[in-house]
A and B are shown apart, each in its own frame.
Chain A
Amino acid sequence: MVSKSPYNPLVLVGQVLFYGLFAVIIAYFSTSPKYTHLEPNLSLIKLSFSYHGEPVGECHQRTKEELAQLAPNMRAPTSCPRERSPIKVKIDMDGKPLFEGVAPPAGLSKDGTSTIYKRFEVPSGEHMLSVKMNDNARIKDYNMVREEKVTLKPAQILVIDLRRDHGGIFFE
């Protein structure tokens, strides 16, 4: 309750000390402690795609009777189901399963793209990678397969993607 002059040397030293403490707290947590996001002996495999699966059913040619029942502007000769197939994925690494899952199509009518994003931390080095996918509900087995021996450097990211213009499954 005693007011102290700001020019009192002790007060000034106290102010410098506490500004210094404030600075130390700011500076320390601004960069420390270090955070290890990925151990140096690990690499990263990312599975990610955004892909339209095949229609769940066959298209069929409309008969004349069917076409006649439609409005004139809607008389498309071929009718395809709107719903798309989910994308089934199975990844094995060195003969052991790494991931198995399904990417369902987006949208209320399930007519959107199937998307997925997964990350896997794996030991760096040489691995046998087997990636199988199915984009057609009318086919029971995996209709796209890619098996490849990959060498992953420490911290390297290997992307597994699926694109028609790249011929299906591809590694990047």
Chain B
Amino acid sequence: MSLFASIRQGGLVLLQRIEAFFDAIFGSAGNPWRHLGALGFYLLWIILATGIYLFIVLDTGVEDIFTSINYYTLEQWWLGGILRSVHRYAADGLVLVMLLHLVREFCYGRYYGFRWFSWITGVPVIWLVYASGIGGYWLVWDQLGQFSAIASMEWFDWLPIFTDPATRNFLTPGALTDRFFSLLVFLHIGIPLILLLALWVHIQRVSQSDVFPSRALALGTLAMLLVLALVKPTVSHGRADLSLAPTVLHIDWYYLFIHPLMYLTSPAGLWAIAAGLTLLLLLLPLLPHPKQTPIAIVNPPNCNGCRRCFVDCPYGAITMLPHPDKPGHQLARVIPELCASCGICAGACPSSTPFRSVEELVTGIDMPQQPIGALREEMERKIAALAGPVKIAVFGCDCAAAAHQLESDNTAVLNLMCTGLLPPSFVEYALRGGADGVLVTGCREGSCAYRFGTQFTQQRLTGRREPHLRPSVPLERLRMAWADSHEMSCLKAALEDFRDHLQTLGADEKRPRAYTPRRIVQNG
């Protein structure tokens, strides 16, 4: 393993431990680590909503802008002051969650292959967030705004794009006019709108985008911002004065760290750092990485156009076309460059049921590297070989805790590319075929390499999503245990606990009637 891969793997293990810890406190749906993107969107909504009020009460005159902001900060603290503080802290939080989102996606390896588009389009978003935020500091036109404006202009003046140095606009007290702040307001509204557009592009290749956090997380975050606004309200520095240089400043390090960095190095140095990091992020998808496994294949005779794969595909890689052979029906089509090779579509296909009596089980949409027919054969073979009083079939996931380590005389393990590939009927098939219980495992919700594998499997097995596990299947004999790759001991403990539970049930209690595949009978 290369050093680069080792760092990424180490980061992933650390991240998964943190996420598992937070799961215990917030639950998967409310765990901020698992919804950083949604949290970022939410903070942006808060910034936009509070910004509307701040815009209404802002006076853009060069002499009045500072006074108007100070008025609603101090005199109208109960509304304008709180909204200003929430606006500021939400903007800071946005930078924090954006950078954590970047690191998390990197650690999970979500920057290459079919994900290149989301990764690359995320890079301009970083620039736009900073451009939006830094401009906001200028608007206050206090000493911090003066410092930031001049430092930014000194930075931009290094580029040969201005005839006159832009810094000359801030040279003397008389250099600025009211028009400057009108322009600034225009930019401070315009750039975030471009940011929204960039975010829309950023999530184009993911379906059912997570753009709004759970109610618990949303309310918790809003309450946190409000408390922060009351405990530590945002206040301005002294009024800007272009005849005096700002000396000691309480700078916002989330946005304005670039200015001290520039004075520590040079404008050219800061450009080199910014351009270098941007280039590095843009080039990451081009670095050597594991090749993508074969993509899903549609088998027209077995596709009835039910659209379940179309609905469930986490990356919008499936479209529906008119079926060439069945008038009035539709046929799924896989868009190769969008397909993640996860198999969630195969798990959604109603033709994936192992109860079909055909000799060669071919489903409507299948994964060449793990076809449903081969999975049925492997399951039949492994369950038939089980011995002991309590026989358990385990459906594992290649991306989660290594379920194959559970394999033993009384435990058959079938590892899937993603748990989402498991058609629920396989659970019933395993129970009726001789297993006393079925354990389904995979990544924790939110850790799934393919976004919805865990969530959809849970929903399918509990009757909340098509295809359902039939109600006649006794849930006492089914257990779901989600464990990330570092949680093998938890998985082992879950298996033993399940085995103990099955022993208490008795051999015939709540057991579906046995099923012998017709084709096995036919073949003797």
Chain A contact residues, CB within 8 Å of chain B: 1-4, 6, 11, 14-15, 18-20, 22-23, 25-27, 29-32, 34-40, 43-44, 46, 48, 50, 106, 112-113, 115-117, 119, 154-157, 159, 161, 172
Contact = CB atoms under 8 A, between A and B. Distances in A.
A160 to B, nearest CB: 10
Contacts of B163: 50, 106, 112-113, 115
Given A1-B481, A27-B89, A30-B89, A155 B247 contact: yes
Given A19-B220, A159-B172, A161-B171, 18 more contacts: A4-B24, A15-B25, A15-B26, A18-B22, A18-B25, A19-B224, A23-B227, A30-B92, A31-B250, A35-B260, A37-B246, A37-B248, A37-B249, A40-B247, A44-B245, A48-B168, A117-B154, A155-B247
Contacts of B89: 23, 26-27, 30
Contact of B245 (A22, A35, A157, A161): A157
12 contacts: A14-B24, A15-B25, A19-B223, A20-B224, A27-B232, A34-B248, A34-B250, A35-B249, A37-B248, A38-B245, A38-B246, A115-B164
B164 A14 contact: no
A32 B252 CA distance: 7
Interface string B156-171: 0100000111011001
A6 B246 contact: no
Contacts of A14: 24-25
Contacts of B225: 23
A27 B490 contact: no
Given A35-B249, A115-B164, A157 B244 contact: yes
B244 A156 contact: yes
A4 B251 CA distance: 41
Contact of B168 (A1, A2, A117): A117
A43 B30 CA distance: 52
B482 A1 contact: yes
Contacts of A25: 96
Given A23-B224, A50-B164, A155 B481 contact: no
B501 to A, nearest CB: 15
Nearest to A41: B247
Nearest to B165: A117
B2 interface: no
B253 interface: yes
A20 B227 CA distance: 9
A-B pairs, 8 with minimum CB distance: A14-B25, A31-B250, A117-B165, A50-B164, A29-B253, A19-B224, A44-B245, A23-B228
A155 B245 contact: yes
Nearest to A24: B228
B88 interface: yes
What does DSSP make chain A's interface, helix, strand, loop or mixed?
A: mixed
A157 B242 contact: yes
B228 A27 contact: yes
Contact of B165 (A3, A43, A115): A115
A59 B85 CA distance: 63
Given A15-B26, A50-B165, A30 B252 contact: yes
B487 interface: yes
B300 interface: no
B168 A50 contact: yes
B405 interface: no
Nearest to A14: B25
Interface in B114-132: none
B216 A37 contact: no
B494 interface: yes
Contacts of A117: 154, 157, 165, 167-168
A28 to B, nearest CB: 9
B517 interface: no
Contacts of A112: 163
B487 A1 contact: yes
B96 A26 contact: yes
Contacts of B481: 1
Nearest to A43: B245
B136 interface: no
B447 to A, nearest CB: 12
**Residue of A19, A26, A44 with highest tally of chain B CB at under 10 A:** A26
Contacts of B24: 2, 4, 11, 14
B247 A48 contact: no
A106 B164 CA distance: 10
A157 B146 CA distance: 13
A157 to B, nearest CB: 5
B461 to A, nearest CB: 16
Contacts of B252: 29-31
B504 interface: no
A143 to B, nearest CB: 23
A159 B250 contact: no
Interface string B299-319: 000000000000000000000
B247 A38 contact: yes
